[in-house]
Every structure is written in C-alpha cells, then in structure tokens.
Structure 1
Amino acid sequence: MAGSAFGIMVFSLSAFLSLALLGLVSSAKFDELFQPTWAFDHFTYEGEQIHMKLDNFSGAGFQSKNKYLFGKVSLQIKLIEGDSAGTVTAFYMSSDGPQHNEFDFEFLGNTTGEPYSVQTNLYVNGVGNREQRLNLWFDPTTEFHSYSIFWNQRQVVFLVDETPIRVHTNMENKGVPFPKDQAMGVYSSIWNADDWATQGGRVKTDWSHAPFIATYKGFEINACEYPVSIAAADKAKKCISNGGQKYWWDEPTLSELSVHQNHQLVWVKAHHMVYDYCTDSARFPVTPLECVHHRH
C-alpha cells in the first residue's frame, strides 16, 4: 500500500487493524483470494508461486473469489520466456453483463530478442476501443515485476513497478462516463491469440516451444470488498468515505497524480508508447471526447 506510486502513506497500527477488520486488507495467498476457472490441469503450485501454462490443447485462467469497488489490486508476474510470439497473458478487472466496466493489462508475446509489449484498455458501460500499447523498458521474463490497478471516484491508474503508465481521470462534468458504480472481479488468463497479438497476426505461435508458462506471486488486493447481499445503492455507499468511515483510496492526495508521478508518466509516453487510440485518426476521424479533455 505504501510506495512511490502514491507517496508515503503511514497508518497507525490501530488504523491498519481497523482496515483489516473491514475486509480491506487481503492476504497475499493465492488460494484465499483466487481460484482457477478453467484448465485446472494447466496450473502448477510451487510454494507461494503459481505457474499457468498454455499448450496446443488449452490455455488457462483464474479469478478472484470476491468483487471489489475502489482500491488497489496487484500481481507480480514473470512472463513467458523465450519465443512467446502469438501468446497473450492478461491481468484484468471486469464487472458482469453487456454494460460492463473493465480495466485490462494484456501482455503481447514476441519472438526471442524483441521487446515485450503491454496493451492497456478500458471499458466503460460496455464500450472499449481505448487501446494504448507500449514496449516495456525491461525484460519481463527474467524476474518478477509488479503490475497494479488503482481506482477511486476520481481516476483509474495502471502501474508497472509502481510507475504509472496510464491514467483515466473522471471527466463526467465533460460528458464522459466514468467507471465508478460496478464492482469488478480480478482475473488473469493465458491463451493463444496469434491472429492478432504479434505484429498484427503476421507472426504465429510456434508450438514447438510449448508449453508457454507465466508465473505469478505476490497476490495483493487492498480494496473495498463488495457484498452481494445488499442493494446496489447501499453497496456503492459502502465503498465511499463518509462522516463515519474514511477509506485510504479517498485521501485527497490520491485524487490525482503527484508531480513525480506526472513526470514518470510523461517519460513512459515519450520513450515507450508505440500506440495510442487518441492519435489514431484512421480509426477515429472524430477524436474521442475523453482524448480532447484528457491532460495525460
């Protein structure tokens, strides 16, 4: 919870315990937070690490046991080593139904020696098409790196090793819908997407390199658990600070990026971004409204 992404946040022991009692601080154990959802035989457990594999029979996936509204979710992932062309490893959050909200990390494999790309996307009320893509500034296959999603009523922030790589701010006052009223589950999956994932589908998956394995650890959910047994309006209120309850994600310092974080984001975009839907005039002859108003 503390770290460079959001400055130094110091809680007293009693404050931390009160958060824990409210179910806002979650264990980092996989089995307490998550469960496999398909291809159970494609999982291998090694201490606190989970290996999830893709072969020419199947991919695999897991999801959180609960849903959440506001807070921070993090996974540490070591991506597929070697020739990973055609593969996608995804870490995302999503609500249910056709009008769903969704925040996506999609790690796009590549041929050996080429940079790994990460594509982010954001759906609001069932509408996506907000892709951004960047080349990571490190080799994500040799060691673990942290990937996080932070969100509150004011912004959604995608972070890599606590460095913000994307921000979507609340611009409802400009007529832009914002994802603030649907609880989301946390998901990860690995699958074959060689029809589009690597160089637009020109490079196909080489199954002689299978199985393709992504490894996970450091499962952290520090967010507002969303109970299924109460009305939607009451659920939304439960996760928003009020006179009787203060939540860390509603702290004024988390309503926007710090000066340092803004500098980090500028650096990422200047040196590592390779695609931004906001500048794709072929797809969007009329610039999307949030791109007109967005400061980032």
Structure 2
Amino acid sequence: MRIGTFVGAALAATLSQTVSAQTWTDCNPLTTTCPNDTALGMSIRVDFTKGEVNSFVASGSPTYDGDGVSFSVAKPGDAPQLISTFYIMFGRIEITMKAAPGTGIVSSAVLQSDTLDEIDLEWLGVDDGQVQTNYFGKGIVGNYNRGQFNPAPNNQAEWHTYTIDWTQDRIVWLVDNTEIRTQTADSAEENQYPQTPMQFKFGAWAGGDPSNAPGTIEWAGGVTNYENGPYAMKVKSIAVTDYSTGKEYRYKDNSGSWESIEAIDGEINGNVGNVDMITITASAASPTDSGSPRVPAGGIGTASGDATLTQTGWPWVPGATPDEGSVPDGWVMTEEGKLIPNESGSVHPPLVVLLGSLLLGAITFIRHTF
C-alpha cells in the first residue's frame, strides 16, 4: 500500500503550494512490478457544501463555500483538481456540477489507472450545450477518434449530475439519468478497453493557454484571455461506488487485463448485486460530430515520452511528479468519504508521522523562503 505520499500531500496542502495538475502514473504495471493500489471497496457520497474531505488530495487551490468546491482558473498555470486516495475496480462515479465558462477553459472528470486506461467527461467553456465523452486503453491514443460530443444543455448555469458506469462489458455515460453514450468492450479496438483499477480526478484547466500546442488550443475553443476571468468549475457533490471488494488491488502480471487483477481480502465484482445499479430514464439524441481537430486524449493533443510520464488528461509539466496520496495504515473510509482512525487498529504512528512531517516541512519551507 502506498502510504508515504499521503503525508506529503497533507504537507503540500498545509503550505498552500500551487502546482500544475496532470494525469500521470508513477509506476506502470505494464512494464514493472508496482505497489498495490488502495481499494475503495464500498460506496461513498461526498457533499462538498459541508467542506473538504481527506479522501481526496488537492492539487492547486480548490476553494469551498455553500455551493461546494470551486476550481478557479485565473492565471497561466492554474489547474486546480482533486484526486482520490483510493481506486475502484469497475464501478460508478457521479458528479453534480456546473462547468466553467470561458474560451479555452476545460472542466474535466477523469477515471484513470496506473496503466493509463482512461475514461473521461470534459466540458469546453465555449460550449454550454455539450459534454465530451472519451476513453483510452494503456495510454494509446490511436487516431484521436474515440471522443464524442454529446448533449448536455445549460451545463454552465445549471446543476446537472453526470455519471460514468463502468463494467468489464461496457461503459455508459449519463446526464441526469439520461444515457448519452454506451461503449461496449466487444466493439472497442483490440486491447483498448479500460479494465484496470482507476483513480477519480476532477478539476479545471486552460487548454487555451497561449503556451499550449496549437492543436490543444484549437480543440479547447481558442486562446484563453485571463483578464476576463477568473473561470470556475463548481462541484456540489460526488458519489463513488466500487463494484469490487477488498483492501487493495494487485496486478498479478504485466498484461493489463482485468482477469489479472487480484482483490486482496475481497473479490473482483464482489459488490455487484449489493449496490443499486444505474437507472436510465431515457436515451439522448445521437452524438454530434466528434469535432475538428479529432478529440485528443484528455484534452492534450500529443502524448509522448516515457510511458510512466505520458500526459493524457491535464496540462503537463515535463518531469514533474505530484503527490497522489493514499490511505494510511490503521485508517478507514466512511460513507461520507472521510478517512478516520480505525478504533480496532493502531492509529498513533500515522498521526505522529503526519504531525512530525508537517512540522519538519514547515521549517524547511521557512528556511528556503527566508
């Protein structure tokens, strides 16, 4: 289990350091043996109108108020996001939100695995009538032809709930319980169907920043004028359900297939039948043209470099390694998405480590600053 980065993330949040967000993986199980992924193994529902929760690590500077959590883009380099400390192995995410307006501004909700499997929802600030749906397998972008623009009217001014429901057989995207797209595993390109444990990440960024590649700026709708900002994505609440059970997910080999994933102290698909399944009330109209240029992976027009640093979802700072967070030993998740000490376990060591690291980090920060 990854435990060290939890302390680092807490320290980063305490010092309010702003870093550029990115979709990345620090260890790719396709090429090497990696630490196990912390499993959610249950369902949680988080109400951000009540403030932050420690089961998500912040990058950048999300803010909280009575509407929930806001991801504001005000200047070059702003890319606030929240990243789950846990993974799901098949499951469902729901996000109730308002997309950010503004030319070149992109609001994103992404499921991504350590092998760079990916399932996306993205909203362009120049279009408050559609949402982009997308998927990738193992970081392979192909011809950038898997994206669709699907109906999502008034997505900036009104609250809507967006859902990704993911099984080994198909992915369903919904808006307010209306199905807007279904992708089956059988109809996906060979070895390109997402099927490994996923983290949940969401936030906003400027695809139209003048420093980005021309293809990215064109896809995002044009060059961002920061003087007209700030531009904010707002999230009222989320719900996450893991269709599998257990404490951790382990890759038994380098194949990247779902059959190769082991649920430690649990079962793959062990929650199926124990949770409420999605309710589809209608099907939306057919998708519009996938756009020009072809929709890139996660909003970035080019994915290059080493597999463990391939950028597929957020503005990428080459060589950067942000903290991803994890659930420390002796702590458990509540249904409200909060990490709390397990009364039956030893909780003092994580607290001591956390407080000590915070103090040491603060002293180091002050020394370097002054």
The equivalent of 2:133 in structure 1 is: 120
Please say if residues 34 and 62 of structure 1, whose CA atoms lie closer than 8 Å, have aligned partners that are also in contact. no
The equivalent of 2:118 in structure 1 is: 102
Aligned-residue offset at 1:190: 1.0
1:219-230 correspondence to structure 2 within 5 Å? 219-223=238-242, 224=244, 227-228=247-248
The equivalent of 1:203 in structure 2 is: 222
Partner Cα separation in structure 1 for residue 53 and residue 245 of structure 2: 14
Classify the secondary structure of the residue corresponding to 1:235.
strand
Partner Cα separation in structure 2 for residue 70 and residue 208 of structure 1: 42
Cα distance change of structure 1 residues 37 and 154 upon mapping to structure 2, 3 Å threshold: same
Cα distance change of structure 1 residues 163 and 276 upon mapping to structure 2, 3 Å threshold: farther
The equivalent of 2:272 in structure 1 is: 247
> Which ranges of structure 2 fall in alignment gaps of 5 or more residues?
1-39, 209-213, 253-260, 296-370
Whichever residue aligns with residue 53 of structure 1, its letter is S
Cα distance change of structure 1 residues 249 and 240 upon mapping to structure 2, 3 Å threshold: farther
Alpha-carbon displacement from aligned partner over 1:202-254 (angstroms, at most 9, x marks no partner): 6321222111011101211122466337564422894434xxx5623899x98
Partner Cα separation in structure 2 for residue 197 and residue 117 of structure 1: 18
Alignment match of 1:54 (pick from 73, 82, 92): 73
Classify the secondary structure of the residue corresponding to 2:285.
helix
TM-score (norm 1): 0.67
Classify the secondary structure of the residue corresponding to 1:140.
coil
Aligned-residue offset at 1:102: 0.3
Cα distance change of structure 1 residues 47 and 168 upon mapping to structure 2, 3 Å threshold: same
Cα distance change of structure 1 residues 198 and 147 upon mapping to structure 2, 3 Å threshold: farther
Cα distance change of structure 1 residues 204 and 249 upon mapping to structure 2, 3 Å threshold: farther
TM-score (norm 2): 0.55
The equivalent of 2:231 in structure 1 is: 212
Alignment match of 1:44 (pick from 63, 67, 70): 63
Alpha-carbon displacement from aligned partner over 1:68-96 (angstroms, at most 9, x marks no partner): 01121011111224xx1111111010011
Partner Cα separation in structure 1 for residue 240 and residue 174 of structure 2: 14
Whichever residue aligns with residue 183 of structure 1, its letter is P
> Which ranges of structure 1 fall in alignment gaps of 5 or more residues?
1-21, 281-296
- Report how many aligned residue pairs link the two structures: 235
Alpha-carbon displacement from aligned partner over 1:96-147 (angstroms, at most 9, x marks no partner): 1xx421001111111xxx5444222111122233432325342111121111
Partner Cα separation in structure 2 for residue 145 and residue 191 of structure 1: 20
The equivalent of 1:18 in structure 2 is: none
Aligned-residue offset at 1:273: 1.6
Classify the secondary structure of the residue corresponding to 2:100.
coil
Instruction: Give the fraction of aligned pairs with identical amino acids, expressed as a percent.
Output: 20
Whichever residue aligns with residue 99 of structure 2, its letter is L
Partner Cα separation in structure 1 for residue 73 and residue 218 of structure 2: 20
Alpha-carbon displacement from aligned partner over 1:152-199 (angstroms, at most 9, x marks no partner): 12111111112122211121899554322x100000121111144675
Whichever residue aligns with residue 166 of structure 2, its letter is W
Partner Cα separation in structure 1 for residue 221 and residue 67 of structure 2: 37
Partner Cα separation in structure 1 for residue 43 and residue 137 of structure 2: 26
Q: Do residues 161 (structure 1) and 179 (structure 2) align?
A: no
The equivalent of 1:15 in structure 2 is: none
Classify the secondary structure of the residue corresponding to 1:141.
coil
Alpha-carbon displacement from aligned partner over 1:44-64 (angstroms, at most 9, x marks no partner): 211460011001142211111
Please say if residues 107 and 116 of structure 1, whose CA atoms lie closer than 8 Å, have aligned partners that are also in contact. no
Partner Cα separation in structure 2 for residue 103 and residue 207 of structure 1: 29
Classify the secondary structure of the residue corresponding to 1:208.
helix
The equivalent of 1:66 in structure 2 is: 86
Cα distance change of structure 1 residues 225 and 89 upon mapping to structure 2, 3 Å threshold: farther
Q: Which has the higher helix share?
A: 1
Partner Cα separation in structure 2 for residue 173 and residue 210 of structure 1: 39
The equivalent of 2:104 in structure 1 is: 86
Cα distance change of structure 1 residues 34 and 164 upon mapping to structure 2, 3 Å threshold: farther
